[in-house]
Amino acid sequence: MLQNQRRDKILELIREDGHAKVTDLSRIFKVTEVTIRQDLESLEKEGSIVREHGGAYLKNIDLNVRNFSLQNQEHLSEKIMIARKAVEFIHDGDTIILDSGSTTTEIAKLLTGYNNLTIITNALNIALILGAQAGISVVVTGGEFKAPTLSLTGQKAADFFQNLHVDKLFLATAGIALKSGLTYPGISDICVKRAMIESANEIYLVADSSKIGKNAFASLGALSLINYLITDSKIKPEDIEWLKTYDVQFLIAGN
């Protein structure tokens, strides 16, 4: 991996988890700790992170947590369109999982006026959005808190889904590609998302079109894990073609 590519991936990991240790980054990228410290020094000069003893953390992360705001707010109009399409598949009496993320947060904002709807989520912001809604029961997983996504992650969060059966899962992703499938910046999230998938009868991947063709750090698995992809109308014609070629069922919001 080239130096600039490695630094981009390091920044991607820190943006996802909020912090990183030099020792962990050295092991993940198979370079010396001296090299990682040089990478972190360069990223700090760019203004994205703040170095500390043994690692680094994301700049302004404490302010975002106090304001309960998500880091990733790009392509918001597309995410709102996707959320409007997604709620068409949510009905009274359903038990569903809402994954953490900015698109699933937009889904949560639209869930009003339901009866006997149960929401299971690892996202604390989603729990707060829905916690006071009449007709909706909210269940929150355990796990390790991850500041940038306001979510709970790790093996304890994954264990929550053992022997759990739900109607639908609305799953987030960072990247969708033909060879690598569904990818994410954070390794700790992979076990959680696998457990969610195993618990659900139907899996709806909600992802704006900028995610298609993109690769993040850790792979969850092939697109065959999902039943439906809900994306937006800015999807490229060539992306539509390869989705059709590989029999991916997709729905385009806004059409």
In a domain, 66, yes or no: no
CB contact at 8 A, 16 and 185? yes
Assigned domain for 165 exists:
yes
- In DSSP terms, 231 is beta-bridged to 252
Residue 110, φ and ψ in degrees, nearest 5: -95, -5
Q: How far apart are CA 182 and CA 101, in angstroms?
A: 15
User: What is the mean pLDDT of each successive set of 10 residues along the chain, which is 255 residues long?
Assistant: 84 81 87 91 88 86 70 83 97 97 95 96 96 94 91 95 96 89 88 96 95 87 92 92 85 86
102 and 46 in one domain?
no
Q: Which domain holds residue 189?
A: 76-253
Residue-level pLDDT at 66: 67
Please check whether residues 44 and 167 belong to one and the same domain: no
Q: What is residue 232's predicted lDDT score, i.e. its pLDDT?
A: 95
Structure token pair of residue 210: 């900028």
Q: What are phi and psi of 164, to 5 degrees?
A: -105, 135
How far is Cα 153 from Cα 135, in angstroms, rounded to an integer?
A: 27
- Which pLDDT belongs to residue 245? 83
Give the H or E element holding residue 171. Answer: strand 166-171
Place of tokens 């997983």: 141
- Torsion sign over Cα 223, 96, 160, 61: positive
Strands 19-21 and 49-52: unpaired
Sole residue written with tokens 């988890």: 17
Q: Determine the pLDDT at residue 72.
A: 63
Assess whether 32 and 132 both reside in one domain.
Answer: no
Residue 130 covered by a domain: yes
Residues 128 and 29 in one domain: no
Tell me 212's DSSP state: B
247 with 180, same domain: the answer is: yes
- Do residue 92 and residue 174 come from a single domain? yes
The number of distinct structural domains making up the chain is: 2
Which residues 6+ apart lie within 8 Å of 75 measured at CB?
208, 210, 232
181 and 89 share one domain: yes
Q: What is the pLDDT of residue 124?
A: 95
The answer to whether residues 247 and 218 belong to one domain is yes
Cα torsion 127, 79, 227, 115 to 10°: value is: 40
Q: Which stretches of the chain are DSSP H helices?
A: 3-17, 22-29, 33-46, 61-66, 76-86, 102-109, 124-130, 155-159, 188-199, 237-245
One domain for residues 176 and 230 = yes
Contact of 208 with 75, CB cutoff 8 Å: yes
Whether residue 114 is found in the same domain as residue 226? yes
**pLDDT at position 24:** 85
Query: Nearest to residue 108, comparing CAs of 77, 99, 116?
Result: 99
**How many residues make up the chain in this entry?**
255
